[in-house]
Structure 1
Amino acid sequence: MDASRLRTPLRRTARVRLFRIPRLAGPVVAVSCCLALAAGCSSGPGPGSSARGEESGSDTAQASVPRASGDLQSDYLKVIKDVLPSVVQIQATSDLGSGVVYDDQGHIVTNAHVVGDERSFQVTTASSEQPLTAELVFSYPEQDLAVVKLDSVPDGLAPARFADSSKVQVGDIVLAMGSPLGLSSSVTQGIVSATGRTVSEGQSGGGTGATIADMIQTSAAINPGNSGGALVDLDSEVIGIPTLAATDPDLGNSAAPGIGFAIPANTVKTIADQIIKNGRVTDSGRAALGIVGRTVVDSDLQAAGVAVVSVESGGAAAGAGLKAGDIITRLGDVDITTITSLSEALAEDRPGDRTSVTYTRGGAEKTVDVTLGEQ
C-alpha cells in the first residue's frame, strides 16, 4: 500500500491524547508484578508421541522448548536487565511520568508535558530507595521534550544507549519501559507498527499542542505514566521516547489499543544535546512560516483554511508578501483546512526549503513562492 494512503487517514481521523495521570491520592498500594515469559510451553506430548518415543528407544518425545523461542526469551531478559535501570519515575506536584537517564552527569530526558510548568521534581531511580531531587534544565514544548538534572548523582547511575532511529524498521520487536499508572519499572512488548508518522497533540489535559514529525508507531502497550520512558529494541538501545496514544472517537475517545507513538531517538539526541550544552534549543530543525493563524470555516461551518492573524517581521511569510487577513488554503501540494493541518504540513519540511503558499485575499486566489524559516 502506498505510504501516503496510510498517512492520510491517520491525520484525518486519529485523535491523540497524552499519557498523563493525576497525582496518586492517598497511600500507594504496593503491587507485586510477575512477568512470565513462556516459550513453547506444553501440557505434555501429543497423541502418539510417547509411543513413537518408546518404539525408537530415544527420549526425543519430551516437550522441549524450541531454540528460537528460548533465544527470544533470553533476548528479552537481557534487554530488561540492561535498560530498566536507566528508566526513572518523575513526580511533579500533580502529575507522574517517566524519564530516561541520558548521561552520567545526572541529566534525564523526558516529555515536556511531564514537567509542565514546574521546575523541581522528585525522581526515583531503579537503585534509589528514596526519591532524589531534580531541577529543570529546559523544556521545549514545540517537540514535547525536556531535560531535568539530578541535584546529586547516585553511585551506579546507568545512562541508556540511544540508537540510530533512522535504521528502525517496521516489524522490529520492541519493549516499552516506564511507570504506567504509577507502577514503576513496568515492561510491555510489541513491534514497530510504522515509521515516519506526523502526529499533533491536543492542548487539553496539559498537552503542549505540538505537531511532531517522523514519529515511531508501536503496538507495545502504552498507558498513562509511560510518557517520557523508553521504547527499546533487542540491542538494548532506546529507539524512541513514548509520548502519545491514539483514541477512538467512535468509542467515546477511549484509548485505541496498540496504537502508541514515540519521538525517535535521533530527534531526542539532537534536542537533548543542545539543551545540555547551551541550556536551550538553538537549532530546532523545524520549519516555520512565521505567522500567527487561526482556523476559519466556510458557510457550511466546515474548516476551510487558516486565516493569517499577524505576520512575523522578517519571517518567511513576510518575505513572500503575505498579510494579516489572507487565508491560506494550500502549502506546496497539501490542502490546508485547519491550523493543525498547516502545522503537520510544515513538519514535513525543513528550514530553508522552498515551497509555495496558496491563499485568498479579497476573494481572489493567489500563489507565491516562500523560503521557510525556522521555528
Structure 2
Amino acid sequence: MSKPRVRAASVPLAAALTAVALVGGCSSSGSGDATRSTTQAAPAAANDLQDDYQKVIKDVLPSVVQIDAADGLGSGVVYDDKGHIVTNAHVVGDEKRFKVTTATGEQALTAELVAAYPEQDLAVIKLSEVPSGLKAAAFGDSAKAEVGQIVLAMGSPLGLSSSVTQGIVSATGRTVSEGRSGGGTGATIGNMLQTSAAINPGNSGGALVDLDGQVIGIPTLAATDPGMGDGAAPGIGFAIPSSMVKTVADQIIKDGRVTDSGRAALDITGRTVLGDDYRPAGVAVVEARKDGAAAGAGLKAGDIITRVGDDEITTIDSLSEVLASDKPGQKVEVTYVRDGSEKSAEVTLGEM
C-alpha cells in the first residue's frame, strides 16, 4: 500500500456541523418506565452537545480570520488584543502585506508580516489598525489532547469564510513532512495532532478548537492518497500543536524572529544517496559545520548516515522526521559508513 502524502491546505464546501450523542439506557426488568426514560434522555443529551457546539462557535469564531495574499487564501487566529494574528508560513508565502477579513467585519483590514518561520510552517502578521471589539482566542495545552476528544475546525475552506467542521482527535504525536508542492514550505513538523475534522484548501492557519473553547492546534495539512491520483484522503488532517504555536508566536512578537527553535539538529548539510539497488540508502554528509553537533562527534564530509538511535535513515526526509521528535542537547547514537566500514558515534544534538 502506498504511503499517504500530505499537502498544505491554503489554496482557494462548507461542511455541515453534525451533533453526535452517545446515549446509554439502563434496563429494569423490561419495564415501560425504563423505555420512556431512555427515550427522554436521548434528545436531552443531543441538545446538551449541540449547546456545547454552539457556545464554542459563538466564543471562538469571531477570533478566526480570512487572510488574502497575492498567491492564495488562508485563515488565521487573533493572538492578542494588539492585532497580532498567527497563521501558517505557507499562507503568507513571500508576501509582506495582506487583506484580512474578520468573522464579523464587512470591510477587509490591512496587515503586515511580522515574521515567518518556515521550518515550523508558522508566521505572525499584525493588523495596521486594531478594530474595536477585536477578540483574541484562548490557546489551550495541546499536551492534554486525547484521542477521541471532540474538536471543531474553523476557517475559510475554498474562501467560504467562518466555516466550521467537526471531528475528533484521531492521533497525537504525528511527525509529518509537508513537501513543497502545492505551496508547502518543505517543513518536517513533529508532535502534530491528527484529526478527522475536515481540513480543506483555505483552512490552513485557522483554529482546531476543543469543547472548552480553547485552540489546541492550527490546521495545516490534509492527507492525499497517491493510490487515488493524489486525491484527498477524507478524514485525515494534521494540526500544529498549540504548544509550538505559542512558543514560536511569542518569540516572533517579542524579538521579531525565532531565537530558540527547540528543534534538534545534526548541524550538517546532507543529501540522499542510493545503494547498489538504486534505492535510497542513507544520507551523505556534504558538510559538517565546524563546532557543530556531528563534527564534534567526529563525523565529516563523505560519511553516510544510516541510523539514528533505533531508526533507519534512508533519505533526508527520514532524517528530518527522526530529528523532529528529538530535542537539542539530547544524546543519540548515530551509525554511519566511512570508506566501506560501519561506525557509530554518540552525538549531542544541536539546535536548528
**TM-score normalised by L of structure 1:** 0.87
1:143 aligns with one of 115, 120, 124? 120
Cα 1:79–1:273, aligned 2, differ >3 Å: closer, same or farther? same
Aligned equivalents of 1:197, 1:64: Cα separation in 2:
38
Matched, 1:156 2:133: yes
Other structure's SS at 2:143 match = helix
Q: Work out whether residues 39 and 65 of structure 1, in 8 Å CA contact, stay in contact via their aligned partners in 2.
A: no
Letter in 1 for 2:69: A
Question: What's the CA shift string for 1:48-71, capped at 9, x where partnerless?
Answer: xxxx99xxxxx9999885211110
Contact 2:15 2:163 in 1 (8 A): no
**1:325 Cα deviation from its structure 2 partner:** 1.2
User: How far 1:257 sits from its partner (Å)?
Assistant: 0.3
Aligned 1:54-65 pairs, distance under 5 A: none
Whose radius of gyration is greater, 1 or 2? 1
Residue 205 of structure 1 deviates from its aligned partner by 2.3
For residue 297 of structure 2, what is the aligned residue in structure 1?
Answer: 320
The aligned amino acid for 1:131 is: A
**What is the alpha-carbon root mean square deviation over aligned residues?**
2.1
Match of 2:29 in 1: none
Structure 2 residue aligned with 1:354: 331
1:183 aligned residue: 160
Whole-Å separation in 2 of the counterparts to 1:62 and 1:260: 36
Going from structure 1 to structure 2, the CA distance change for 1:252 and 1:339 (only over 3 Å counts) comes to same
Contact 1:111–1:145 under 8 Å retained in 2: yes
Q: CA deviation at 1:204?
A: 1.6
Confirm or deny that 1:339 pairs with 2:316: yes
* 4+ runs deviating over 6 angstroms: 59-64
Q: Do the aligned partners of residues 185 and 273 (structure 1) sit closer, same or farther apart at CA in structure 2, a change above 3 Å counting?
A: same
Equivalent positions of 1:87-236 (< 5 A) are 87-236=64-213
1:18 and 2:5 are equivalent in the alignment: no
Q: Indicate the SS of the match to 2:119.
A: helix
C-alpha distance in 2, partners of 1:169/1:61? Answer: 29
Confirm or deny: 8 A CA contact 1:137 1:279 kept in the other structure: yes
Question: Corresponding residue for 2:284?
Answer: 307
Is the CA contact (8 Å cut-off) linking 1:39 and 1:70 kept in structure 2? no
Aligned-pair CA distance for 1:34: 9.4
- Structure 1 CA distance, aligned partners of 2:342 and 2:288? 19
Residues of 2 paired with 1:278 and 1:184: CA distance?
31
CA deviation profile, 1:218-251 (whole Å, cap 9, x unmatched): 0001100000000000000001000011111111
1:44 corresponds in structure 2 to: none
Q: Distance in 2 between matches of 1:215 and 1:186?
A: 22
Shift of 1:313: 1.8
Which moved further from structure 2: 64-73 or 142-151?
64-73
Q: Provide the residue aligned with 1:368 in structure 2.
A: 345
Paired residues of 1:215 and 1:263 also in contact (CA < 8 A) = yes
Query: Is the CA contact (8 Å cut-off) linking 1:89 and 1:184 kept in structure 2?
Result: yes
Residue 81 (structure 1) aligned with residue 54 (structure 2): no
Cα deviation code 1:273-332 (max 9, x no counterpart): 011011110110000000111111112111100011111122101111111111100011
Q: State how far apart, in whole Å, the 2-side matches of 1:76 and 1:252 are.
A: 35
Q: Whole-Å Cα distance in 1 between the matches of residues 236 and 182 of structure 2?
A: 19
Task: Give the counterpart letter for 2:319 in structure 1.
Answer: L
SS at match of 1:13: coil
Shift of 1:39: 7.4
| 1:290 matched to 2:267 | yes
Alpha carbons 2:305, 2:334 under 8 Å: kept: yes
Report the alpha carbon displacement of residue 127 of structure 1 after superposing the two structures with TM. Answer: 2.4
**Percentage of matched positions with identical amino acids:** 70
Q: TM-score, normalised by structure 2?
A: 0.92
- Give the Å deviation of 1:35: 5.2
Provide, for residues 84-128 of structure 1, a one-character-per-residue CA deviation record: whole Å limited to 9, x for no partner. Answer: 000000000021000000000000000000001111100001222
Match of 1:121, as an amino acid? F
